[in-house]
Amino acid sequence: MNFLHISDIHYRSFYPGGVSGYEKMLTQMKDPLIFLRECVLEALREQPIDAVLVTGDLTEDGSVEDYRTLRGALRDLVGERPVIITPGNHDSKKNLRIGWLEMSKEEAERAGASPYHFVEELEGAVIVSFDSSVQGCPDGCADESALVWMRENLLEAKKTGKPVILMTHHQLIDQLPGVPPIPQKKQIMEILRETRPAAVICGHTHHHYVGRVAQVPYYIADSMSFRGEELEAGGVSFEEGYGYSVYHLGRNGIDQCKTKVNLTGRCLGEIYFSPSQALKK
């Protein structure tokens, strides 16, 4: 099986004119759907794609219409292929349930901000989608009940005999200054050591990465919108950059990883932080 992994689209149908900081940077962005279309069509041309995995921050601030527009655009590109998502810290779970999952407003309101965890069994793999997001909380969070859900469902998924992939939004490593891992990373790593999924994939950092956590293969995808580069003076330069990864899943797990990154050299803006501030993602 081949999986297309995309992340951090930060789609918003309209970016109001911000006067400073992060909002001003957003006004300089190109429409992420332009990058999405380019990347998805390129991936489809170069190899068969069996499913698409999207690891959070689908939208910038999560309006119902933004989710509907993004879902329709992605569906037009990939046809009937499964599209499996997990929310990010910019996503609104209520509006995602209405606009992406097509729940009624009443159903979505009853669900509220409860986590959107689920398991998707495909022909050749099981995807465990773990919701680490809290809207407006950059670092994410996983309470005790969520960790219990992760452990139990990873163990249950292994009983199928298929490779198991855990997907979530927040990272488990200190990959970038100012972008800390999820606070519960130690507990999650203990679960990974016990359950040993075939791979863990996530987003959030806007930079790709290939390595291991708790002896489990670990992959982070680039963003579909922008990248943050640390400045020596104590801030971040937001650069136009976008990309994706394609994984081939063999009998024992991911045995091929192809990453494509597009860097235009265009600076979208710079933000300088006091020592107590963290990079907003």
Task: Please name the residues in contact with 151: beta carbons below 8 A apart, sequence gap of 6 or more.
Answer: 191, 194, 195
**pLDDT given for residue 74 in this prediction:** 98
For residue 121, name the pLDDT band (cuts at 50, 70, 90): very high
For residue 179, name the pLDDT band (cuts at 50, 70, 90): confident
Backbone angles phi and psi of 163, in degrees to 5: -60, 140
Contact yes or no for 241/188 (Cβ under 8 A): no
DSSP secondary structure of 151-185:
HHHHHHHHTTSS-EEEE-SS-SS--BTTBPPPTTH
2-272 has which fold?
Answer: Purple Acid Phosphatase; chain A, domain 2 (3.60.21)
| Segments making up each domain of the chain, as ranges | 2-272
For residue 40, name the pLDDT band (cuts at 50, 70, 90): very high
Instruction: Dump pLDDT digits (tens) for 81-100.
Output: 999 999 999 999 999 999 99
How far, in Å, CA of 167 to CA of 149, rounded?
14
Instruction: Dump pLDDT digits (tens) for 214-251.
Output: 999 999 999 999 999 888 877 899 999 999 999 999 98
Determine which of 17-31, 62-76, 79-93, 231-245 has the lowest per-residue pLDDT on average: 17-31
**pLDDT given for residue 134 in this prediction:** 87
Share of the chain above pLDDT 90, in %: 81
Which stretches does DSSP call E strand in the chain?
2-6, 51-55, 83-86, 118-121, 126-129, 164-167, 199-202, 209-213, 216-220, 226-231, 235-250, 253-272
Kind of pairing between the strands at 235-250 and 226-231: antiparallel
How far, in Å, CA of 115 to CA of 113, rounded?
6
pTM for the model stands at 0.94
**pLDDT given for residue 281 in this prediction:** 44
For residue 62, name the pLDDT band (cuts at 50, 70, 90): confident
**pLDDT given for residue 251 in this prediction:** 85
**pLDDT given for residue 140 in this prediction:** 95
Q: Higher model confidence: residue 96 or residue 252? A: 96
